Chain A
């Protein structure tokens, strides 16, 4: 018996199985506990993957979703993305009413075919077929199925039975059959708390999970994907765009990236080589040479993404970026690496999962699924200096919150490995605000303010330097939204890229800041850095808490009080110190001056769900104390 027949039979069985179920999607059959907190119920999600040959894999997917109300529509997910190598063989959908009676059938030709290019991409061959159905009554159920085929076996879809809030799941299963003996590897995460059935042998793998209740989102919890089951799957031997590969661990995987994707794409024109040689001439320190090259790339290229076929993971040749002066993250990183080679500086192409949410590469499990961005590592003694070649504005060696503090794959011929990117500690993510404030007896004030930001706080701040005057005015009016009638009369910025420090020097005034009351003036001394964030209250919290990055704010405001006024009432000094951080305010009064000092440290960390309420109390106190008032009385 050949493989083809086996597959035929398997497919036939699956289809029959599915058919026999299709009449039974009445809403009353959903167990009550699955309706709780749910806008939709996934009645069935079943993905069957069959690898017939090293270069032939079929994916058969069936998804049945009952949508309980309007907010549940997004869980239908009746669409299939495809491109030139991932082909849709079959696709169809059925819509059932509340009682399980079919109200509509959608055949392949009725699906809408659309380009799946996102806004940030110039061109891509990604397309999508999606079901055109406009629900008019709730609940309803959609039965959706497709069959796809691809030559690429380098990427095996992983299994994630829980991907959203307010959705429950009746049954979710996954099977993989390796008929070509490519060698299945898999790793499971967060399986412990769930009753998951795992079946595996040399040639197959199956996961099964039933009756998962809907979850509700909670502020400051880790991302859902970190808390819910995840089965990662790969095969050791694979095929990718016309070529075979092998990788069972990160080292081998890195070798494959190097040999199959990068090798031979790093030459630039003689003219550019000369330019770079000239640029770094006489500079001995490799890091300084690297900085010159990085700045050259920043000033001469820009990010434009074109993703076609293998171009989704392979960079366009450095020579092409050299000519067009644009590329995506792969292209620009590979180009920079090529220029660094000319400048005689070693560097390593590195794959990362970028985004302000920190997501690590799993050091023990190598897959193509991990990573969505490329950065470059430059050895600096025992350490690594990281650069992101897609940004034209970041300082050399500063990667900010887009790729900080996470495991990435560093690709090095014969020595690829998982390494960690730069970590920015709490007390280095600073904002120092110093202000001299002159308060008038009519309640107005004028002030000179200086704000210095560093570390992660630099990253969220320095971009304002390129805003137009109009946008800057709205920026400050929003930043200090609680100051009514604020006016910024002058501003000056300096961006120290060596120290990675951004300085704002401002002149600010406002009318009617203080309340005038008979003989007294009432105002809040924390003019420029009120932190009013209080985490939401949960009657019964489910998830732990995570603060991914800490920070430190230090403020000193010197307030000159109007003539003929004295301080009548002053808040007390406060110091709070706990596992979440520190808060301190103090006041000192001279003749015509009040000096207000404030410090707020928030510590990075993982905390239990019981800690959440304590943290909430802490932030409530900070919010209250930041609103404290001072009362002046006329002499």
Chain B
């Protein structure tokens, strides 16, 4: 659709194109002699200067294109940094147009004695490889790279896909000393920048009146960043790309002729409306469909709308399997995907909407961006990749995604819980951004009834009940597993206990709880020393290692879903023994009340009773909470490691 707009011919005067601060070839002895990165002494390499200039241009046949000039200068400190000497440039092509790489030049600099020695990248060491039908990769590695080398490379990419400008990336796995980035677009093409990452930066905006052919004014954004630290991925992060500094430019509108503007996206309402006005949503979905043959017999006995919704959800799950593809639109369409019994996310969840509507349920599509697709911080169509179904019955909200075997109503696959949703209600002309119902807290109850013997052997029974996403994950894990191997892996998980009578319940279904139970035998369940027994009452269920090991965290912690683990342990202690140690309970709570740990042990009449609760009320926790979270885990672990001392009477 964007392609059809005729582009006003622009000619950009060259005078202010090359404003880059560092020029190719200006490598100094100081740079070569440097042995440690001044920003981060642990860095193996550092980008000394990263330059990018993207601007609009006209190709030979008068069509629009963007030109991107790249220049980078990188210092290699040690052998671990050598990987930065290998570069790849990915180019995209469609059926009719392709991106073109030109003017690739690269040089390695080394200090030999007192002399700076240059080694140029040879043409025959540049390899072009057709990765797949629409991606070509150019790859090269710099010659004569040693510890201490400085490498430089520059190139230019010309792209006919001017409406899709590649992200400007301002952060990487190695530190960057200086960044300069420029983007120049015609005033009539409104590109909206969206910023991301935890480093703050702002562009300097410049306008050049009448600098293009035909008096077209140009808009230039200039970014200057210094000393950008490296960003590395840690545990419990949804998608590290959400937190890497960068900026995306999205085409928002084009002035087609004087005073006449065509909008592409501005607010989320606009985005919703533009999805709503697509053929798929406007015609395909709203076309009156007759599902009578399929649905009428199924829904015949259903009395309430909730019941009907459940039956339709199950029908779609059973009859259209997900082919692994995302999508906010149809890949095949309702009819074809029902016939072929497979489809993408659009086929499945839009079919679900259509069928719910047939059953007279107020249902609409909800377009989202999944976790692997980043969080869209600003209104944009390009960053949305998925659609789920939304229904309202008696003012109650229902979110449905029928692509996964174990998903349920209001229990979506975890990838869906990334951000908000774009609500597209064409019948009532409501197009807006809405919040997604956050995942319900998954509650797991563990109960252990055991008997401790005088020689330290512990035997007993284990029972657990898992709900919500804990049940979902368990179902996925156990599906199609060889049972013996699965039990062995449970024995491994549980500190090498020996398991018998292993049973699970309700793991094939997607509704309700999962139950797991078994009997166990643990030879060294407790430590016996002279006439005393030392015993950790949470036994093989105790947490051993703090998952949070670093001293600080720059981005949020994402557990995927909130959870509450509850433990009840009853242990018969051997006859003739009595408690020697003090039993102090522990209760920890974060200031915001979202993280809680409680632990109590008591002994009465030769019966030990433990009750513990780990309660994480939110899936996501701000980076500022990290140290509190780490501390709570730490104290909880050391509490669970406490030995209870039993003494022979």
Which residues in A have some Cβ–Cβ distance to B below 8 Å? 37, 39, 69-71, 112-115, 117, 122-123, 134, 136-137, 166, 216-217, 299-300, 302, 304, 306, 323-326, 392-393, 466, 468-471, 473-474, 477-478, 481-482, 484-485, 512, 515, 517-518, 520, 522, 534, 536-539, 568-571, 620, 623-624, 627-629, 631
The 8 Å CB contact of B634, one of A485, A571, A627, is A485
Q: Are A37 and B127 in contact (CB under 8 A)?
A: no
B257 an interface residue at 8 Å Cβ cutoff? Answer: no
When the two chains form their complex, are residues B482 and A474 in contact, meaning their CB atoms are under 8 A apart?
no
Q: Which residues on the B side are within 8 Å of A624 (C-beta)?
A: 523-524
Q: Which residues of B contact A70 (CB under 8 A)?
A: 479-480
> Of B4-12, B423-431, B639-647, which stretch is located at the interface?
B639-647
B130 interface residue (CB < 8 Å to A): yes
Q: Could you show 15 A-B contacts with beta carbons less than 8 Å apart?
A: A37-B482, A113-B130, A123-B127, A302-B79, A323-B143, A466-B79, A466-B80, A478-B549, A517-B580, A517-B581, A517-B643, A518-B580, A522-B643, A538-B488, A570-B529
* Assembly CA distance A517 to B496 (angstroms): 27
Tell me, yes or no, whether B532 is within 8 Å of chain A by CB.
yes
In the complex the two chains form, is A522's CB within 8 Å of B645's CB? Answer: yes
Do B342 and A326 have beta carbons less than 8 Å apart? no
A620 CA / B496 CA spacing, docked (Å): 9
Cβ of B538 to closest chain A Cβ, rounded Å: 14
Q: A625: nearest residue on chain B (CB-CB)?
A: B524
Is the C-beta of B278 less than 8 angstroms from some C-beta in chain A? no
Cβ-based interface call for B324 (8 A): yes
* Neighbouring B residues of A323 by C-beta, 8 Å: 143
* Complex contacts, B273 vs chain A, CB 8 Å: none
Q: Point out the residues of chain B lying under 8 angstroms from A392, CB to CB.
A: 79
Contact with A along B99-113 (1 / 0, CB 8 A): 000000000000000
Q: A113-B133, A481-B544 are in contact. Are A536 and B482 (CB under 8 A)?
A: no
- The reply on B485 being an interface residue by CB < 8 A is yes
B582 contacts the other chain (Cβ, under 8 Å)?
Answer: yes
In the bound complex, how far is the Cα of B488 from the Cα of A236, in angstroms? 49
Q: Find out whether the CB atom of B143 lies under 8 angstroms from the CB atom of A325.
A: yes
Complex interface residues of chain B between 529 and 560 (CB less than 8 A to chain A)? 529-530, 532, 534, 544-546, 549-551
- Is the pair A302, B82 in contact by a Cβ cutoff of 8 Å? yes
Contact status A122-B139, CB under 8 Å = yes
Let me know if B580 and A114 touch, CB within 8 A. Answer: no
Contact with A along B505-547 (1 / 0, CB 8 A): 0000000000000000001100101101010000000001110
Does B154 sit within 8 A of A, measured CB to CB? no
A113 B129 Cβ-Cβ under 8 A: no
Inter-chain CA distance A364–B324, complex, in Å, is 49
B47 contacts the other chain (Cβ, under 8 Å)? no
Establish whether residues A216 and B146, one from each chain, have CB atoms under 8 Å apart when the complex forms: no
The proximity string for B residues 19-50 relative to A, scoring 1 for CB distances below 8 Å and 0 otherwise, is: 00000000000000000000001111000000
Q: Is the CB of A136 within 8 A of B131?
A: no
Q: How many Å lie between the Cα of A571 and that of B530 in the bound state?
A: 9
The answer to whether B488 and A302 touch across the interface, beta carbons within 8 angstroms, is: no
Task: Tell whether, in the assembled complex, residue B523 and residue A113 are in contact, meaning their CB atoms are under 8 Å apart.
Answer: no
Beyond A134-B323, A469-B42, whether A569 also contacts B482 by CB under 8 A is no
- Residues of chain B lying within 8 A (CB to CB) of residue A536: 488, 491-492
Q: Which residues of A contact B492 (CB under 8 A)?
A: 536
Give A73 Cβ to nearest chain B Cβ, in Å: 10
- Chain B residues with CB below 8 A from A114, complex form: 131-132
Instruction: Using CB atoms, name the residue of chain A closest to B133.
Output: A113
User: In the complex, which residues 469-506 of chain B have their Cβ closer than 8 Å to any Cβ of chain A?
Assistant: 479-482, 484-485, 488, 491-492, 496, 498
Q: How far is the CA of A325 from the CA of B117 in the complex (A)?
A: 14
- B496–A166 CB distance below 8 A: no
- B341, A137: Cβ atoms closer than 8 Å: yes
Asked if A216 contacts B484 (CB within 8 A), the reply is yes
User: Nearest 9 pairs between A and B by C-beta?
Assistant: A468-B42, A136-B321, A123-B127, A569-B529, A69-B480, A624-B524, A136-B342, A134-B323, A481-B545
Interface residue B322 (Cβ < 8 Å from any Cβ of A) = yes
Taken together as a complex, chains A and B put the C-alpha atoms of A373 and B80 apart, in Å, by: 22
A484 touches B546 (CB 8 A): yes
**Any A CB within 8 A of the CB of B194:** no
Determine how close the nearest CB of chain B comes to the CB of A482; give it in whole angstroms.
Answer: 6
Q: Are B42 and A136 in contact (CB under 8 A)?
A: no
Whether the Cβ atoms of B496 and A623 lie closer than 8 Å is yes
- Beyond A136-B322, A474-B550: 7 further Cβ-contacts under 8 Å? A113-B130, A117-B129, A122-B141, A134-B323, A466-B78, A539-B484, A569-B529
Complex CA gap A302/B81 in Å reads: 11
- Closest Cβ of chain A to B63, distance in Å, is 29
Least distance between A77 CB and chain B CB atoms (Å): 19
Chain B minimum-CB-distance residue to A517: B581
Q: Are A326 and B488 in contact (CB under 8 A)?
A: no
- Closest chain-A Cβ to B121's Cβ sits at a distance in Å of 10
> Could you say which residues of chain A place their CB within 8 Å of the CB of B523?
620, 624
Contact at A520–B645, with CB atoms within 8 Å?
Answer: yes
Q: Give the contacting residue for B637; candidates A324, A468, A484; CB below 8 A.
A: A484
CB distance from B542 to the nearest CB of A (A): 11
The answer on a CB contact under 8 Å between A629 and B527 is yes
B125 sits at the interface (CB 8 A): yes
Complex interface: chain A residues within 8 A of B634 (CB): 484-485
Instruction: Considering the complex, give the chain A residue whose CB is closest to the CB of B631.
Output: A485
Q: Contact at B341–A136, with CB atoms within 8 Å?
A: yes
Contact B643 A515 (CB under 8 A): yes
| Known A539-B484, A627-B524; contact A515-B78, beta-carbon cutoff 8 A | no
Say if the beta carbon of B606 comes within 8 Å of chain A: no
| Interface flags, B122-139, vs A, CB<8A=1, else 0 | 100101011111000101
Cβ-neighbour of A534 out of B145, B485, B496 (below 8 A): B496
With A325-B145, A392-B79, A473-B549 in contact, is A631–B529 under 8 Å at CB? yes
Is B59 an interface position by the 8 A CB rule?
Answer: no
- Least CB distance from A248 to B in Å reads 38
**CA of A149 to CA of B440, assembled, Å:** 58
Closest to B640 in A: A484
Distance A470 CA – B480 CA, assembled complex (angstroms): 40
Complex contacts, A466 vs chain B, CB 8 Å: 78-80
Provide the residues of chain B in CB contact with A300, threshold 8 Å. Answer: 146
The answer to whether B127 touches A122 (Cβ under 8 A) is yes
Q: Please state if B544 and A482 are interface contacts (CB–CB under 8 Å).
A: yes
CA distance A482 to B643 in the complex (A): 15
The interface residues of chain B lying within 8 Å CB-to-CB of A137 are 321, 341
Given contacts A300-B146, A629-B527, contact A122 B86 (CB under 8 A): yes
CA distance A484 to B548 in the complex (A): 11
Q: Which residue among A136, A137, A520 has the maximum number of chain B CB atoms within 10 Å of its CB?
A: A136
- Which chain A residues lie closer than 8 Å to B44 at the CB level? 468
Q: Which residue of B lies closest to A134 (CB)?
A: B323
- Cβ–Cβ < 8 Å partners of B642 in chain A: 515
Residues of the B chain whose Cβ atoms lie less than 8 Å from the Cβ of A481: 544-545
Q: A115 near B130 (CB under 8 angstroms)?
A: yes
Tell me whether B178 is interfacial, beta carbon within 8 Å: no
Inter-chain contact A306/B127, CB cutoff 8 Å: yes
Which residues of chain B have C-beta atoms less than 8 A from A477's C-beta?
A: 549
The answer to whether B488 and A324 have CB atoms under 8 Å apart is no
How far apart are the CA atoms of A195 and B114 in the complex, in Å? 72
Q: Which A residue sits closest to B551, measured CB to CB?
A: A473
Q: Judging by beta carbons under 8 Å apart, are A629 and B529 in contact?
A: yes
Nearest chain B residue, comparing its CB with the CB of A569: B529
Residues of A within 8 Å of B530, CB to CB, are: 568-569
Q: Is B357 an interface residue (CB 8 A)?
A: no
- Measured CB to CB, the closest approach of chain B to A67, in angstroms, equals 11
Chain A residues within 8 Å of B122, by CB: 324
How far apart are A455's CB and chain B's nearest CB, in angstroms? 23
A217-B489 Cα distance, complex, nearest whole Å: 13
Measured CB to CB, the closest approach of chain A to B494, in angstroms, equals 12
B267 in contact (CB, < 8 A): no
Cα of A473 to Cα of B200 in the assembled complex, Å: 29
Nearest CB in chain A: distance from B316 CB, A: 13
Expressed in whole angstroms, the minimum distance between the Cβ of B418 and any Cβ of chain A is: 23
Which A residues lie within 8 Å of B643 (CB)? 515, 517, 522, 629
Q: B491: which A residues are within 8 A, CB to CB?
A: 536-537
